[in-house]
């Protein structure tokens, strides 16, 4: 779908990619091609390095190269620039996700290289578990892992191509799940407490695993690794 954005005409929200501004460029890319790319501050450099055309730049611009931003605006005059105050109450990534959420996207992917400060990384990942983000068709490609979130009433389809190892992490309280396609499947009779290690390092045994969330909110983190003993 197309969304009208002030100062930028229309943005095609069929497949939105958000390129985070962490210290490392993304290592994994989603399949297919984006219809709209949102660069998060220094993520503009990563976007251009990946050969992508940025449509939106969001942030307080404390880490973006000013000359690079001007060259990008010269090359694509319809570039939407969302500049925020440095003393804002939300992170640049939070603002970018909020902007993407407002486009009512059909599909959204977050691209991050990982590394950097632990607190930034923890906030960036757990942010995906907010109810309005967890309800989005959102996958985050962070470092070598793929992260998805789901809340009560939603179901995740997890292809083994995204990683044969799976960790399920309850966020904000105990979650009740029903899984299939895993070496150790969970049912509603085995709740997953917030911060518990019960969901750590499971393994996909089918081409695709399924996670149905009956209560609570979970993060599903897939990583490629050796088969478990």
What separation in angstroms does the CA of 197 have from each of 167, 168, 169, 201, 228? 9, 9, 8, 9, 16
Share of the chain above pLDDT 90, in %: 65
Task: Give pLDDT tens digits for 81-112.
Answer: 999 888 787 889 999 999 998 898 999 999 99
Task: Give pLDDT tens digits for 8-28.
Answer: 458 999 999 999 988 888 988
Q: Band the pLDDT of 2: cuts 50, 70, 90.
A: very low
Task: Give pLDDT tens digits for 158-204.
Answer: 999 999 999 999 998 999 999 999 999 999 888 999 988 999 999 99
Query: If you average pLDDT over every residue of the chain, what do you get?
Result: 90
Q: Cβ–Cβ contacts within 10 Å for residue 125, how many?
A: 20
The whole-angstrom separation of Cα 9 and Cα 78 is 7
Residue-level pLDDT at 6: 44
Which residue reads 């996207």 in tokens? 105
Task: Give pLDDT tens digits for 59-72.
Answer: 989 888 999 999 99
What separation in angstroms does the CA of 166 have from each of 107, 175, 182, 192? 22, 16, 9, 14
Least-confidence region, from 62-71, 99-108, 122-131, 138-147? 122-131
Residue 126 has pLDDT above 90, yes or no: no
pTM of the model: 0.89
- SS3 category, 93: helix
Residue-level pLDDT at 213: 95
The whole-angstrom separation of Cα 1 and Cα 135 is 18
Residue-level pLDDT at 120: 83
The whole-angstrom separation of Cα 60 and Cα 86 is 5
Residue-level pLDDT at 170: 94
Residue 146 has pLDDT above 50, yes or no: yes
Residue 7 has pLDDT above 70, yes or no: no
Residue-level pLDDT at 9: 53
């Amino acid at each position: 779908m197309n969304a009208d954005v002030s100062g930028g005409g229309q943005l095609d929200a069929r497949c939105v990619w958000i390129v985070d501004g962490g210290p490392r460029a993304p290592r994994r890319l989603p399949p297919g091609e984006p219809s709209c790319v949102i660069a998060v501050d220094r993520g503009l450099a990563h976007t251009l390095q990946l050969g992508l055309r940025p449509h939106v730049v969001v942030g307080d611009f404390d880490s973006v190269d000013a000359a690079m931003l001007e060259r990008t605006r010269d090359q694509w005059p319809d570039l939407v620039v969302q500049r925020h105050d440095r003393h804002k109450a939300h992170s640049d990534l939070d603002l970018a996700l909020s902007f993407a959420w407002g486009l009512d996207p059909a599909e959204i992917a977050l691209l991050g290289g990982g590394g950097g400060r632990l607190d930034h990384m923890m906030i960036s990942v757990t942010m995906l578990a907010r109810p309005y983000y967890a309800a989005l068709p959102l996958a985050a490609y962070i470092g070598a892992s793929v992260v998805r979130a789901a809340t009560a009433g939603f179901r995740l389809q997890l292809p083994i191509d995204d990683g044969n190892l799976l960790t399920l992490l309850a966020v904000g309280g105990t979650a009740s799940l029903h899984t299939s396609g895993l070496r150790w499947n969970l049912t509603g009779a085995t709740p997953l407490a917030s911060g518990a290690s019960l969901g750590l390092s499971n393994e996909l045994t089918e081409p695709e695993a399924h996670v149905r969330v009956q209560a609570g909110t979970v993060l599903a983190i897939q990583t490629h690794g050796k088969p478990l003993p």
